[in-house]
Amino acid sequence: MASMLMNSLRCCPPVNPAWVVQYATRSLSASVQLHAQVQTKSKKTLAKPGVKNVVLVEGVRTPFLLSGTTYADLMPHDLARAALQGLLHKTSLPKDAVDYIIYGTVIQEVKTSNVAREASLGAGFSDKIPSHTVTMACISSNVAMTTGVGLITSGQCDTIVAGGVEFMSDVPIRHSRKMRKTMLALSRAKTLGQRLSLIGSIRMAHLTPELPAVAEFSTAETMGHSADRLAAAFGVTRLEQDEFALRSHTLAKRAQDAGFLSDVISFKVPGRDMVAKDNGIRPSSMEQLAKLKPAFIKPHGTVTAANSSFLTDGASAVLIMSEEKALAMGYKPKAYLRDFVFVSQDPKDQLLLGPTYGTPKVLARAGLTMDDIDVFEFHEAFAGQIMANLKALDSDWFAQTYMGRKAKVGAPAMEKFNLWGAVCPSAIRLRHGCRLVTTVAHRLQKEGGQYGLVAACAAGGQGHAMVIEAYPQ
């Protein structure tokens, strides 16, 4: 399939490089102007008869920090607890008013495998509140949120806290399988002779540790390698990727400086300083980006450390409720959570195309078109991944050949796309589901839009898309 994509999609019109600097400069200034004079558009509501309206009341997150930095001595539940406490502080929510707590995570700490429960207890929530943890690779917090939506629309719950956490500073490292088997056998040995025999069987190879795999289990390929192949298949150049990376960090820095990232809560790390902002937002220059060598496919690849996301530590939390319950408790919701879909496709050649498959499906469910969407937020794993998705969305051939559609759905208008940058992207993006939804809600408020669309890809060739509708101001 890769060769088919290469031959057929190289003829797709390239994205004009000039938009990078143009929109990095213009888009955020337009957002500032809209913030000063919000003009809410008049469109139909997506409410459905007989279905409860689910609203986003508030969303918070810890600062996202590069792994191995200030959070290095913590544990995952520490970050999740901080996010939950920040949510409680920001909303003044009674700790016993929540019906259910759900968290998403990718790499589980074995001591706190149900991190939702440990974090909620640590944050002071009632021990009578059920809590569970979900995983779906990079879209785990998306699953946490949509699970909460399902509990509300089914009438099981009215108030849900959902979130995501990942801690790449201290991932589980196991003994080799041979060593594990020997150690288990030692625990069952009944005589000294049996123990000595097992100890004597240990060889140097037994002591080689097993590191967490950064490769797909089904294909044995790293995500970065897959991103490099995908970029090549869609004819995405190194220049386009570097330009998009520069755009992303530039817009993120400007949003940070403008105070738009109001979901970030300050966090006092025990024994260290107060952390108040992301530390991975680093605008550079095209000259500096051009100096980096390929990170995965050497020497001719186009994916580098600078146009890729990096590993981070952090956590997020959102309060979602039925509209009726939120209003009864005196809250002013930020947005409605509307239709959503999860998708899956070929994990080898289409690993990172979740947004391409999810976007048209969720638009169809909501009865909308790309032109109806005022705010787009796609999670940014790699610049090449984003550019490949934009080209796939804008390709009739891809839509007809792989998606069973008569025509393309079209690419998002860049003046609506990720205008606050990647906001400290992470190679493990599970918490981005909550962050993206909160960002869409805030952008809709500031820019006067009505509909937003979130989309994300995930390991395993999976993806998620959701439509968010602004709450009437």
Tokens of 201: 């069987």
pLDDT at 22 over 90: no
pLDDT at 430: 42
User: Could you tell me which of 455, 451, 453 has the C-alpha nearest to residue 470?
Assistant: 451
- For residues 377-399, give the mean pLDDT: 97
pLDDT at 186: 96
Tokens of 431: 């918490």
> In which element (H, E) is residue 268 found?
strand 267-268
Cβ–Cβ < 8 Å for 230, 390: no
- pLDDT for 86-137, tens place per residue? 999 999 999 999 999 999 999 889 999 999 999 999 999 999 999 999 999 9
Output the CA torsion 409→150→434→334 (10° steps).
90
Dist. CA 108–CA 176, nearest whole Å: 19
pLDDT at 34 over 90: no
In terms of pLDDT, which residue wins out, 162 or 273? Answer: 162
Helix (H, G, I), strand (E, B) or coil at 414: helix
pLDDT at 40 over 60: no
User: Could you tell me which of 172, 163, 169 has the C-alpha nearest to residue 115?
Assistant: 163
pLDDT at 431 over 70: no
pLDDT at 36 over 90: no
User: Could you tell me which of 259, 305, 303, 258 has the C-alpha nearest to residue 282?
Assistant: 305
Cβ–Cβ < 8 Å for 182, 206: yes
pLDDT at 214: 76
- pLDDT for 274-301, tens place per residue? 999 999 999 999 999 999 999 999 999 9
Cβ–Cβ < 8 Å for 440, 454: yes
pLDDT at 428: 39
- pLDDT for 333-384, tens place per residue? 999 999 999 999 999 999 999 999 999 999 999 999 999 999 999 999 999 9
Dist. CA 322–CA 337, nearest whole Å: 10
pLDDT at 422: 72
Contacts of 328 (CB under 8 A, 6+ apart): none
pLDDT at 192: 96
* Mean model confidence pLDDT for the chain: 91
pLDDT at 316: 97
Confidence of residue 202 (pLDDT cuts 50, 70, 90): very high
Residues designated catalytic: 138, 457
pLDDT at 28: 46
pLDDT at 321: 98
In Å, how far are 159, 263, 447 from 33, measured between CA atoms? 35, 21, 8
User: Could you tell me which of 165, 132, 127 has the C-alpha nearest to residue 147?
Assistant: 132
The Cβ-side half-sphere exposure at 412, using a 13 Å CA radius, reads: 26
pLDDT at 53 over 60: yes
pLDDT at 5: 53
- For residues 49-63, give the mean pLDDT: 97
pLDDT at 205 over 60: yes
Dist. CA 229–CA 223, nearest whole Å: 10
In Å, how far are 324, 351, 381 from 348, measured between CA atoms? 45, 6, 16
Confidence of residue 12 (pLDDT cuts 50, 70, 90): low
- pLDDT for 125-169, tens place per residue? 999 999 999 999 999 999 999 999 999 999 999 999 999 999 999
pLDDT at 41: 53
- For residues 68-97, give the mean pLDDT: 97
pLDDT at 70 over 50: yes
pLDDT at 43: 80
pLDDT at 426 over 60: no
Helix (H, G, I), strand (E, B) or coil at 457: strand
Burial 211-244 (b: 16+ CB within 10 A, else e): eeeeebeebeeebbbbbbbbbbbbbbbbebbbbb
Cβ–Cβ < 8 Å for 54, 337: yes
- For residues 230-234, give the mean pLDDT: 97
- For residues 179-203, give the mean pLDDT: 96
